[in-house]
Structure 1
């Protein structure tokens, strides 16, 4: 029988429902600060979430709507916008205005008590992910959590690269890992890496296709604990 080796969490939409009231707000403030005539509505941001990564979302948006001004150096523009956006998002995190989703702290505590490895795998900026983990989960929990984020891999979700990196770095059997995701692209990445996947639907992803998921729930407080995670990896492949 296989034994659970690790719990791996996505960040945005899984640990904290950050997309609508965190990242989107920070992007819009960054656009205003930099004099860029862009304002992402909730509906527009939902469309852009089909692309993983903040820089990639801005590139798609400007490709579709037109680049600001002459935009001679598009790479520099995207870099400057993303840096400012990250600073603004950090302010939101540090203010404690983005609470953890239900069940996250409990499941992390269960894993720590049982000596199960923990990791966060996210396409978001590493600085923001690290700060979110430390501030929202606390320093004591955070020291047990390995973080893989941002541009640490060349290909972002739905490519499995970030999950493959976590497995190789932490010397984990993918079949003994359970991932918690909230999006179709995250689910696709986790399954392509050979891992089990629990989906917690979030505000922007409730209607996505989650047929590949092992379990789909509104949040982790709906009967999801370490026992259920262990049961997933105990199934014969």
Structure 2
């Protein structure tokens, strides 16, 4: 029976997909449908506060834009517009992934192999569409290892991150306790969701999240790392856990133990 679980977010964790994948895919979608919208890097950084691609698309349907673009005013028809845009965007994004345009982040493939060899359960908990997540997984960790992942994504839950629902669903479906799992996230929104589910969380900063608040994370690093070519830089280690070279499975065990011990200390 599996006693340890490693749960990844997808975007910004497995690959730096937001800047190099999702944003251009959204903009290509707007151009394809003739929508007078183009998101800049700064625009998209703000929109990342909204969990879920369909939710980000829905947020742009202001009365002014609807009138300018000649879009329907009926809420049900607007939902159909969002679904159509999102389906096109997902197809464009997965094309980018399969074309090899989004390299995996340092250390992901290595630590997935380590975890699998050690008998850990593997999962992704993401607000992205499952098709997108599966494409990234296969590209980053390879076709064989990707089959060992459980994926919780898209509309599996109604309330998206920062709500804890996707992580609560993952724990329930995996048969895991909050103390048997450890999460890898890259954003404040994702960290908030994981912490609300009672999960020890390691943050690997991504291109859009360097200035975010990661209070509550058990460890904050530049990446999981691939020493010596791409060593891990520790940015915050609240429990004093040292990382040498890069983050490995033994490091995650130590991080989790230190965080759980600190959380159980009276007065904390």
Q: TM-score, normalised by structure 1?
A: 0.95
Counterpart secondary structure, 2:214: coil
Pairing partner for 1:176 from 164, 168, 180: 180
Partner of residue 70, structure 2: 69
Larger radius of gyration: 2
Q: What is aligned with 2:50?
A: 51
Tell me by how many angstroms 1:70 deviates: 3.5
Question: In structure 1, which of residues 59, 66, 80 is the aligned counterpart of residue 84 of structure 2?
Answer: 80
- The counterpart of 1:230, out of the listed 249, 253, 266, is 253
Q: CA deviation at 1:173?
A: 0.8
Aligned to 2:239: none
Aligned length: 235
After superposition, residues 141-156 of structure 1 pair within 5 angstroms as 141-156=145-160
Paired with 1:187 and 1:97, the residues of 2 have a C-alpha distance of: 27
Residue 201 and residue 64 in structure 1: after superposition, are their counterparts in 2 closer, same or farther (change >3 A)? Answer: farther
Give how far 1:15 is off: 0.1
> Does the residue aligned with 2:62 lie in a helix, a strand or coil?
helix
CA distance in 1, matches of 2:257, 2:64: 49
Q: Show structure 2 runs of 5+ residues with no match.
A: 226-231, 233-245
* Contact 1:51–1:57 (Cα < 8 Å) also in 2: yes
Higher relative contact order (CA 8 A, sep 6+): 1
Instruction: Verify the 8 A CA contact 1:48 1:61 in the aligned structure 2.
Output: no
Could you report, residue by residue, the CA deviation over 1:200-222 in whole angstroms, capped at 9, with x for unpaired residues?
Answer: 11010110000111100110111
CA distance in 1, matches of 2:224, 2:209: 15
Partner residue, 1:16: 15
Distance 2:166 2:184 in 1: 14
Hey, what's the Cα distance between the residues in 1 that align with 2:63 and 2:182? 37
Q: Is the 8 A contact 2:106 2:223 kept in 1?
A: yes
Which among 158, 167, 171 is matched to residue 167 of structure 1? 171
Distance 1:94 1:65, change over 3 A: farther
Instruction: Give, in angstroms, the shift of residue 64 of structure 1.
Output: 8.3
Equivalent residue of 2:111, what SS?
A: helix
Asked if 1:102 corresponds to 2:106, the answer is yes
Whole-angstrom distance in 2 between the partners of 1:16 and 1:4: 27
Where do 5+ consecutive residues of structure 1 fail to align? none
